[in-house]
Amino acid sequence: MGGWIREHPILTYQHGRKVKFYVDGKEYEGYEGEPIAAALHANGIRVYRKSMVLERPRGFFCAVGKCSSCFMVVNGTPNVRVCITPLKEGMRIETQVGKGEIR
């Protein structure tokens, strides 16, 4: 599921530098400066958080930072909109459960 598109009849993709990042402790690779959500999706990760009350799985939805579906904990900060936050080398990303905690 997911993965990077390597061949396309119209488009050629200009990716940035490849960087390592971590999701719940596991190492992955993505492109620097692209939204975290793109890298997650390319790595087959679709569940980003569990909702506050019913703990339902939540993921990507609007891709424009408006819907609040894609909140994750990024470098310890909860409620980060991963669809519009650029990926950086070494980022530590965690599945968010509930409201998130300030540490």
Partner 1 sequence: MLVKTADVVVIGGGIQGCAVAYNLAKMGCKDVVLLEKDTIASGSTGRCAAGIRAQWGTEMNCRLGIASIEIFENLSEELGADIGLHQGGYLMIAYKESEFEQLKKNVKLQNSLGIKSKVISAQEAKEICPLLNTEGAVGFTFHQRDGHADPLLTTFAYAEAASRLGVKIYDFTEVIGIDLEGDRIKGVRTNRGYISTRVVVNCAGPYAKRIGEFVGVDLPIYPERHEILVTEPIERVSHPMLMSFSGNFYIQQRPHGSFIMGYGPKEHEKTHAVNSTWMFLEEMARKFVKLLPALKELRVVRQWAGSYEMSPDAQPILGEVDEVEGFYVSAGFSGHGFMFGPITGKLMAELILTGETSIPIQMLNYRRFERHELIREPAVV
Partner 2 sequence: MKETDILVVGGGPAGLCAAIEAARAGARVLIIDDGLRLGGQLIKQTHKFFGSKDEYAGTRGFKIADVLLSELERYGDRVEAITNTTVTGYYTDDGVFGALTGEERYFKVKPKRAIIATGAYEKTIPVPNCDLPGVYGAGAVQTLMNVYGVKPGEKALMVGAGNIGLIISYQLAQAGVQVQAVVEAMPKIGGYLVHASKIRRIGIPIYTSHTIKEIHGKEHVEGATIVQIDERWEPISGTEKYIEADLICLAVGLSPLIELLWQAGCKMRYVPELGGYVPVRNREMRTSHPDFYVAGDAAAIEEASTAMIEGRIAGLCAAASLGYRPPDYEERLEGFWAQLERLRRGPVTEKIRQGLPKAMKEE
Binding site for partner 1 (CB under 8 A): 52, 77-79, 98-102
CB of 52 to partner 1, least distance (A): 7
Residue 26 near which of partner 1, partner 2, none (CB within 5-8 Å, type-dependent)? none
Alpha-carbon separation of residue 24 from 65, 75, 87 (angstroms): 22, 11, 15
Q: Which residues pair with 35 in a beta bridge?
A: 86
8-27 footprint of partner 2 as x/- string (CB under 8 A): xxxx-x-x------------
By CB neighbour count within 10 A (0-12 exposed, 13-18 middle, 19+ buried), where does 46 fall?
Answer: middle
Using the rule CB under 8 A, which residue among 20, 26, 29, 33 binds partner 2?
33
CA 93 to chain centre: 8
CA 81 to chain centre: 8
Which residues from 39-78 bind partner 2, rule CB under 8 A?
41-42, 46-48, 51, 56-67, 69, 77
